[in-house]
Amino acid sequence: MPRKNKPTKSRIPFILSGILFILAFPPIGWWFLAWIGLLPLLVHARSLAFGLAFRRGWWSGLIMNAGLLYWVAMNTGAELVVRWLSLFGLLLILPLYWGFFAGFWAFLWKRWGDAAALVLPALWVAFEVIKNAPEIGFPWLELGLTQIDLMPVAQLAEIGGIRFVSVWVVAANVAVYLFMQRKHRSALIIALLLLSGAIWGLWRMNHLPPVDATLTAAIVQGNIDPEDKWRLPPDSSIVIYEALTEQITAENDVDLVLWPETAVPVYLGHQMRYQNRIRSLARNIDAAILTGASHYEFMEPAERGHYRYNSAFFFPADGSQPGRYDKIRLVPFGERVPFQHWIPQLGELNFGQAEFTSGNQFITFPVAEGVVVGAQICFESVFSEETAQFVQNGASVLANLTNDAWYGNSSGPYQHAALVRFKCIETRRPLIRAANTGISLAADRTGRIIQKLLLGERGAFIAEVTTCADYQTFYVRHVEMLPRLLSVLALILVITAAFEKPHGRLN
């Protein structure tokens, strides 16, 4: 029979699981707590009825997501109603997969006992795959992110992306759980597999593909108040970036200067005075400049209005015409109402969002011999499949232009900076990142930070990054194949278990 506990007391273990993961994720980053974060849930959910286990698991998800995503409501770039609706929507949806995870664990345990724990890594990754469905995908709090500073384990992302590292984390919890249940042989086998993965990661960090190209980049962090940037004349922002750029390039030879998202607060494709100004700067410093700016294109016929884009403009070192990349992955409800591909009328809803148009080409920019840059703007930089597409299109260096200033000194910018480092590992490409108010950084092919500017600093730094332009990782070639195969395996096992009779409480 299912347990009957006092409601408040019975939630405590599940709340504890949520708290442990808050401490394991950036910015606190106590990664070792992720290895036991699921244990309270596993121990206390296993003998509950599916519905009750779901509700208790939901509490774990609610606590974790609220504690790590509170900054969504701090977005000063959106209307108050949009901020709180966004946070409410996330806290309504994201805890559900915790609930289903707990419910299916209880369901499987009643049929297979503790052996059902072996299914949990595949089951968890299945929910991570599902929650990142097109249009509303939010790959922000994958459990693998907790291991970004445990570098040997993080290297597993080269094989199956950040979600393959999530598999490692859940498997670590399973090993500890089985050891607690005196299933020592099974626990030892899993522990040896986990250790083997970490040893391989350590070996891989020291045996990367040979370097065949080097990029010297200047990363500029203007630290400009995001509201002032749009309220004051454009020159008030541009002169800051010009001065920082001229200062650092006067003392260093660089191939590329990187400015943040919308560093130039004008429609740069049409306002030729500012475009010519940056072309002249690139020619004078003899270095390419990659900057964020807005853009628009008229519809056909023009009377229908225009398409707005959040774009990155690439100015070659010779001062010639700039290239442009338009952001493909827009922030749901922040930059565009989702599902307009199927229901165009949704575009007429106005929640105070910017309502941009998605780009549709993974454009890359050649900088030097063997160096081709793929630019990703803000939120889209956390999507692994899109990053792999840039590499497939020839990118040998990743660039992230972002503006996390809307979220102030919250945990959001720290989580974002940690997430993009996983893209280095998944693709074995170095990353340069310019953030308006921070955290700007350069990371090598292992995801290790070479240099950075802290949140709230104004300045610039030089980073030399190396790459192997022709090498493609297993993940780049096959993207989410392993997580999806594990998801299918989990589905098959759950269906198989459905045809077996529960045995009640098992030992």
pLDDT tens profile 13-66 = 999 999 999 999 999 999 999 999 999 999 999 999 999 999 999 999 999 999
Active-site residue among 128, 142, 158, 261? 261
- Neighbouring CB atoms inside 10 A of 209's CB total 14
**Cis omega before residue 278 (within 30°)?**
no
Q: Which amino acid is at 115?
A: A
Question: What is the spatial distance between Cα 346 and Cα 410, in angstroms, rounded to a whole number?
Answer: 31
Tell which residue, 255, 267, 249, has the closest CA to residue 313: 267
Among 131, 378, 423, 426, which one carries the catalytic annotation? Answer: 378
Instruction: Tell me the pLDDT tens digit for each residue of 122-169.
Output: 999 999 999 887 667 788 899 999 999 999 999 999 999 999 999 999
Indicate the residue type of 201: G
Beta bridge partners of 295: 309
- The CA angle 264-410-357, to the nearest 5 degrees, is 40
Q: How far is CA 131 from CA 163, 260, 471, in A?
A: 12, 29, 30
Phi/psi of residue 193, nearest 5 degrees: -65, -45
User: Is 4 considered catalytic here?
Assistant: no
Which 3 state secondary structure label does DSSP give 270? coil
Ranges of each domain in the chain: 7-206+480-498, 213-293+313-325+363-470
Give the fold, CATH level 3, of 213-293+313-325+363-470. Answer: Nitrilase/N-carbamoyl-D-aminoacid amidohydrolase (3.60.110)
Structure tokens that stand for 7 in this block = 């409601």
In order along its 507 residues, the chain shows pLDDT tens digits of: 444 555 555 889 999 999 999 999 999 999 999 999 999 999 999 999 999 999 999 999 999 999 999 998 887 766 777 778 778 888 988 999 999 999 999 999 999 999 999 999 999 999 999 988 766 778 889 999 999 999 999 999 999 999 999 999 999 999 999 999 999 999 999 999 999 999 999 999 999 999 999 999 999 999 998 888 878 888 889 999 999 999 999 988 999 999 999 899 899 988 899 999 999 999 999 999 999 998 888 666 554 556 788 899 999 999 899 999 999 887 776 665 555 555 554 555 555 456 678 788 999 999 988 899 999 998 899 999 999 999 999 999 999 999 988 888 899 999 999 999 999 999 999 999 999 998 999 999 999 999 999 999 999 999 999 999 889 999 999 999 999 999 999 999 999 988 888 875 544
Q: Is 327 a catalytic residue?
A: yes
Other beta carbons less than 10 A from residue 391's beta carbon: 27
- For residue 443, give the 3-state DSSP assignment: strand
- Considering the candidates 110, 131, 229, 327, report the single residue annotated as catalytic: 327
**377 beta partners:** 401
